Structure 1
Amino acid sequence: MALFSVSPSVLSSCLKSPPNHHVKLSNTSLPSLSRRRLNSFINKASITSAETPIRRTGNHHPNLWDDDIIKTIQEHQYEDSHYKERAERLIAEIKDMFNEMPTAKSGKSCAENAFEHLVMVDKVQRLGIDRHFQNEITQALDYVYSYWNDCPKDLNTAALGLRILRLNRYPVSADVLRHFKGNDGQFLCPSSLSEEEKIGSILNLYRASLIAFPEENIMDEAKAFAATYLNQALEKNNISSHLLREIKYNLEYGWHGNLPRVEARNYMDIYGENRSWTELADNKEILNLAKLDFNIMQSVHRRELEPILRWWKDLDLDKVEFARHRHVEYFALACAYAIDDKYSVYRSDFAKLCALTTIVDDVYDTYGTIDEIKLFNEAVKRWDPLPPKSFPENIKIAYKAFHMGVNESAQAAEKTQGRDTLPYTLKVWEAYLNALTKEAQWIVDGYIPSLEEYLENGVPSSAYRVTMLQPILTLDAVLSDDIIQEIDYPSKFNELLCLSLRLKGDTRTFKAEANRGELVSCISCYIKDHPESTEEEALDYLKELLQKRLKELDWEYLKPDNVPTISKDYAYNIGRSYQLLYKERDGFTNSNKDIKDLVTQLLLEPVAM
């Protein structure tokens, strides 16, 4: 069995033919690339070193972050001691707020008490400051869970509690929502609520419905109802600006394409617009801490970015012009969920390995000939520190940087794990490169596999595993081999993360890749299996398949097991960060739009205090 494979159970359930797919082939069913043009690409990729190859390129836009970024990141620093002292005072005050929340002895009903606890937890989590209050959050949610099955709840409390308890790994059933579903399919709110209060309840219902497990039909019903209700509310456009903004944000980002620091930055503005919210003294203090904490950590992250920029230049990676230069973007993604100061090594490791993986991907996908690709594989298997002499200079640069980066990452992991993890890591890289080689050979041969064959190879070639494993090993959790296998191969958790990335990525990249001569994708393979289907039907099928796999992934992520929470959280959030990159387009390739804005927001622009 290959190191990477898709289990028969996953693939067999993936690849059942959808009903009513027998529709005439439209003119746009397959990515438009003529056979003559494809043969031209194949011939160019096949030229040996005896001739000068005419190489394919992705025509990627250049690095967006020139030397002037250094000047920018050295401004507006928030690491002075008086900022940290102020933050500590606010943290202490908010801990007091947690301790003063009502209990069973307060005279209030258990439903009222539970709602207050949930709202407090929700605020600090949405604003990205929950890491300061882990003990307080645990105590609050233990209290809520102890009364969860006994006290009556309204829709707002039920939806809020279901989402928060589930995400914090309390075993709660989605059946709690059935109490609020009428015979007409509507979910019911108390008639005494104002229009905006009803919308707020339905918004919480929508957010809860996104954390769904397989076969939870009530969650599908809740999502469909809530999405329709919220979109209708947007069309009426007669609600407050902060609520309007909150609805748009949640509908756009959902859960799987969201990240903690992105959400926090948006909710600072959403809450800041809500005067009735900020007029409450407790809320004002929470918002002040969120802004201050964001700016303090942004200063930390800026300081960490400087050595990454030097690393890029020192290794001459700026001279590898055929490849995507995305080291800054990857670092910003790491900062979007790995917030804490103590995870500096993780952030740096993740950014460097992702940047190197992208360059290697561009060697295999476009620039390298099939002979060079095979030589690259052989050099990695021997773990040669120097590249083959026949490589052109830019691939030599890429290979040297790759070799050094993997070694340095292994050394960082050894400090945490107390053992050499490089042999294990190299097996992971070999499997990834073998998968890329197979895809390159398909291009040379003009071969389009079945969807099952494509996904079996496409899961490892998604690159999730090689960008996840080494950074995870630098965290402050020692992982034995059997625990590693619960988040890495052969776990279903890892398999579903890889598969979801492959499915999401192909729906965003297949047209651009086809124009470069890369005809093989989930879409073209599906159409090969179902010749009378259209491109639109293939996309619909794959999107539906992705949603099913994401539900399975959420169960694998949130179910109880022996994996340290920090390791599993970060492994899962890497997957969410890639989903975010593919939210609107291929953000790996086209980072000059929303991803550029993300970098600016997270790394360059402090929050106005």
Structure 2
Amino acid sequence: MSLGCITPLASSMLVHKLQKPALHKPLFLQKPFITPCLKTKIPARCRIAQTPINMALITTDEGITRRIGNHHPNLWDDDFIQSLSKDYDAPSYQGRAEKLIKFIKDRFNALPVQSSSADDLFQHLSMVDNVERLGIDRHFQTEIKTALDYVYRYWSDTGIGCGRESTHADLNTTALGFRVLRLHRYGISSDMLQQFIREEGQLLHFNSQSNEEEIKGILNLFRASLIAFPGEKVLDDAKSFTTTYLQQVLPRISNLNLSREIKFNLEYGWHTNVPRLEARTYIDIYGEDSSWASKTINNIFYTTLLELAKLDFNMIQSLQQKELQILSRWWIESGLGKLEFARHRHVEYYLWAAMGCIEPKYSTFRIGFAKLSALVTYLDDIYDTYGTLDELKIFTKSIKRWDLSAMDRLPKFMKVAFKAFDQAVTDMAQEAKKTQGRDTLNYARKAWEVYIDSYMQEAEWLAAGYIPSLEEYLENGKVSAGSRVVTLQPILSLDVPLSNDILKEIDYPSRFDELLCLTLRLRGDTRTFKAEADRGEVVSCITCYMKDHPGSNEGDALKYLNSLIDERLRELNWEYLKLNNVPIISKDNAYNLSKGLQLLYKERDGFTVSSIETKNLISKMMIESIPM
């Protein structure tokens, strides 16, 4: 089951100060994490018949009947992973990249001089937007801040025009500025967008016979509408109109690259658009036609920017291939590959981390996250399907003692899983100590113990045939989703120290952490409930909702849950973008993991069934280099 009325912001906010909206949450979202225990007798009306449609059973040599999930095997043979060539790891490529970076920095620094007052604000914003789309913005953080400070100097309650001397706000520039500035945590209210929208949600002064520039402006308004906080009705109206408009205008657009850009943004939006996917897509779009750059940069700069984007993508890909080889060897040596009943998805979990965490120095984050996530899946398959209830009770107690010798009475598959699990948690604590300057092993172990208890709770529910209320299920489910335990130690391994007080603002009991866990659980259940029910795992958000609402059906449950996910993702936007004591790099990587999960669950459970969309993403992101 694992790896799953608001006050608007005031318009008079100070720079880099975000006013927190008053958040009114359902009761089950207000409580802290708990792990309820099944102590009382379950009433008959709460029980379910255990007759799954497609439950697969096997009988072991010891005469024990076990359930299995019939999952497809590992798609990425170790020999293949070890054969990856890492073509772009030669020093000469780094030297070329450094020259390109210097050229682009010089262009950034020349913007105030070379830009005319008629369009200088738009040029500054476009430069920032383009390097971010192409995935090379980490090289230009100082230049980006200088450019955005310049734009913000001219920002007003009505937005901005194309240039510093403009007398009227421009939709395209204001929408682009709103999105970019908000994502960089400037104090930007959405109120100023109201001037462009009628009460019926329509844009004022828009021409139904749209030209290309107008379409780009509406596309930027659509992109801006996705970075919404709770209660921002103007962004709801903007999203509704721009979505319909862009869908209707698509067939009439002759510019194929603009058409492709619109399709990409409509399909992936914001919460499923991870940095690596966006960079790969825009490199293709920009590489086919330079018209995107015509208003902001000359041809020489255009070719330089695109060359750096391609080179940087391929260099990062070579590093990822090295890390994949390390991960694959760990998987072989751990013995986990011999657990035939389980899902072998270590490569897929590495993809999840690597699509958002790009900085080369964070190898420990990516590899550690992949290991822990893979181990969560092995534990999930043991608790949900393969282990017997009596075995699981002993297994749980043994794990919480952190003592392999306590598992003498347990079968070999549990010993293999625990040994790999215990070693990975210990290794990550050692890595974290290098950055944190203190031992965090006990802290991490306590988080894992709460997580293991939540698994045991679900196993007891399953054995008893019990369907809890949605409130009870989510209190336990946001723990068993596994988001906290697979994120905590990798974040501690980043090169930023986190005191206990700061850690509480990103880890439990922070609202940020709770929302990460909750959205994982909700999204996971909406994609996995049918397959899990066929395997005998009947309890999910859907069945719990239907129990709470007699007469409702799956469609009713999914409608409610998808609406709840949208609300919580908006709140997650707020928690991510508000300023607090948590280092930005820690929040960025945790938030990108949330986006990666939403992407990999976009069409289906992309981990259990990784042979379709997930396989294609791995090939495109980590195997196939971009022609230079």
Corresponding residue of 2:144: 137
Instruction: Trace 1:80-479 onto structure 2 (pairs within 5 A).
Output: 80-102=90-112, 108-109=117-118, 112-149=119-156, 151=160, 152-188=168-204, 195-234=211-250, 236-277=251-292, 280-386=299-405, 388-479=407-498
Contact 2:399-2:418 within 8 A present in 1 as well:
no
Corresponding residue of 2:77: 66
Give a deviation string over 1:156-205, Cα, whole Å, max 9, x none. 11111111101111110011211111354322466599622222111111
After superposition, the Cα gap between the structure-2 partners of 1:549 and 1:122, relative to the gap in structure 1 and judged at 3 Å, is: same
Contact 2:48-2:465 within 8 A present in 1 as well:
no
Corresponding residue of 1:22: none
- Following the alignment from structure 1 to structure 2, what is the Cα–Cα distance between the partners of residues 148 and 240? 32
Contact 2:404-2:415 within 8 A present in 1 as well:
no
- Following the alignment from structure 1 to structure 2, what is the Cα–Cα distance between the partners of residues 57 and 174? 51
Contact 2:347-2:370 within 8 A present in 1 as well:
yes
- Following the alignment from structure 2 to structure 1, what is the Cα–Cα distance between the partners of residues 606 and 116? 53
Contact 1:387-1:399 within 8 A present in 2 as well:
no
Is residue 2:579 matched to residue 1:560? yes
Corresponding residue of 1:24: none
SS at match of 2:65: coil
Give a deviation string over 1:231-281, Cα, whole Å, max 9, x none. 1123x2543221121111111111111210111001111111224236732
After superposition, the Cα gap between the structure-2 partners of 1:436 and 1:240, relative to the gap in structure 1 and judged at 3 Å, is: same
Identity of aligned residues (%): 55
One-letter amino acid matched to 1:403? D
- Following the alignment from structure 1 to structure 2, what is the Cα–Cα distance between the partners of residues 106 and 438? 63
* 1:348 CA drift (Å): 1.1
- Following the alignment from structure 1 to structure 2, what is the Cα–Cα distance between the partners of residues 64 and 51? 30
After superposition, the Cα gap between the structure-2 partners of 1:271 and 1:50, relative to the gap in structure 1 and judged at 3 Å, is: closer
- Following the alignment from structure 1 to structure 2, what is the Cα–Cα distance between the partners of residues 41 and 371? 20
- Following the alignment from structure 1 to structure 2, what is the Cα–Cα distance between the partners of residues 274 and 154? 26
After superposition, the Cα gap between the structure-2 partners of 1:226 and 1:362, relative to the gap in structure 1 and judged at 3 Å, is: same
- Following the alignment from structure 1 to structure 2, what is the Cα–Cα distance between the partners of residues 197 and 425? 52
* 1:294 CA drift (Å): 0.5
Contact 1:155-1:188 within 8 A present in 2 as well:
no
One-letter amino acid matched to 1:131? R
One-letter amino acid matched to 2:71? H
* 1:345 CA drift (Å): 1.2
One-letter amino acid matched to 1:328? V
After superposition, the Cα gap between the structure-2 partners of 1:387 and 1:229, relative to the gap in structure 1 and judged at 3 Å, is: farther
Give a deviation string over 1:428-463, Cα, whole Å, max 9, x none. 101111111111111111100111111111110110
Is residue 2:522 matched to residue 1:503? yes
- Following the alignment from structure 2 to structure 1, what is the Cα–Cα distance between the partners of residues 561 and 291? 44
After superposition, the Cα gap between the structure-2 partners of 1:447 and 1:585, relative to the gap in structure 1 and judged at 3 Å, is: same
After superposition, the Cα gap between the structure-2 partners of 1:193 and 1:143, relative to the gap in structure 1 and judged at 3 Å, is: farther
Is residue 2:599 matched to residue 1:580? yes
Is residue 2:614 matched to residue 1:595? yes
Give a deviation string over 1:520-541, Cα, whole Å, max 9, x none. 1111111101111121111001
Corresponding residue of 2:39: none
* 1:389 CA drift (Å): 2.0
- Following the alignment from structure 1 to structure 2, what is the Cα–Cα distance between the partners of residues 285 and 419? 44
After superposition, the Cα gap between the structure-2 partners of 1:36 and 1:450, relative to the gap in structure 1 and judged at 3 Å, is: closer
SS at match of 1:88: helix
Contact 1:11-1:452 within 8 A present in 2 as well:
no
After superposition, the Cα gap between the structure-2 partners of 1:272 and 1:532, relative to the gap in structure 1 and judged at 3 Å, is: same
Corresponding residue of 2:504: 485
SS at match of 2:66: coil
* 1:36 CA drift (Å): 5.6
After superposition, the Cα gap between the structure-2 partners of 1:63 and 1:38, relative to the gap in structure 1 and judged at 3 Å, is: closer
After superposition, the Cα gap between the structure-2 partners of 1:50 and 1:269, relative to the gap in structure 1 and judged at 3 Å, is: closer
- Following the alignment from structure 2 to structure 1, what is the Cα–Cα distance between the partners of residues 467 and 48? 14
Give a deviation string over 1:97-119, Cα, whole Å, max 9, x none. 1111136x96514xx22111110
Match among 504, 509, 513 for residue 532 of structure 2 = 513
Contact 2:50-2:536 within 8 A present in 1 as well:
no
After superposition, the Cα gap between the structure-2 partners of 1:11 and 1:380, relative to the gap in structure 1 and judged at 3 Å, is: farther
- Following the alignment from structure 1 to structure 2, what is the Cα–Cα distance between the partners of residues 106 and 206? 27
Contact 1:259-1:573 within 8 A present in 2 as well:
yes
Contact 1:256-1:576 within 8 A present in 2 as well:
yes
One-letter amino acid matched to 2:149? D
SS at match of 1:487: coil
Contact 2:350-2:366 within 8 A present in 1 as well:
yes
- Following the alignment from structure 1 to structure 2, what is the Cα–Cα distance between the partners of residues 247 and 338? 25
- Following the alignment from structure 2 to structure 1, what is the Cα–Cα distance between the partners of residues 191 and 224? 12
Corresponding residue of 2:36: none
Give a deviation string over 1:499-526, Cα, whole Å, max 9, x none. 1111111110000010011111111111
Runs ≥4 in structure 1, deviation > 4 angstroms?
Answer: 38-42, 189-194
SS at match of 1:56: strand
- Following the alignment from structure 1 to structure 2, what is the Cα–Cα distance between the partners of residues 180 and 166? 19
One-letter amino acid matched to 1:512? A
Corresponding residue of 1:28: none
SS at match of 2:267: helix
After superposition, the Cα gap between the structure-2 partners of 1:220 and 1:605, relative to the gap in structure 1 and judged at 3 Å, is: same
Give a deviation string over 1:459-489, Cα, whole Å, max 9, x none. 1011000110000000010000111110011
Gaps of 5+ in 1: 1-7, 16-32
Gaps of 5+ in 2: 1-22, 31-46, 161-167
Contact 1:345-1:474 within 8 A present in 2 as well:
yes
Contact 1:241-1:273 within 8 A present in 2 as well:
no
- Following the alignment from structure 1 to structure 2, what is the Cα–Cα distance between the partners of residues 72 and 192? 54
After superposition, the Cα gap between the structure-2 partners of 1:39 and 1:195, relative to the gap in structure 1 and judged at 3 Å, is: closer
Give a deviation string over 1:347-404, Cα, whole Å, max 9, x none. 1111111111111111111111112222121112111134612322222211111111
Give a deviation string over 1:36-90, Cα, whole Å, max 9, x none. 6159979x89x9x997321111111100001342354125x11212211111111
* TM-score scaled by length of structure 2: 0.88
SS at match of 1:486: coil
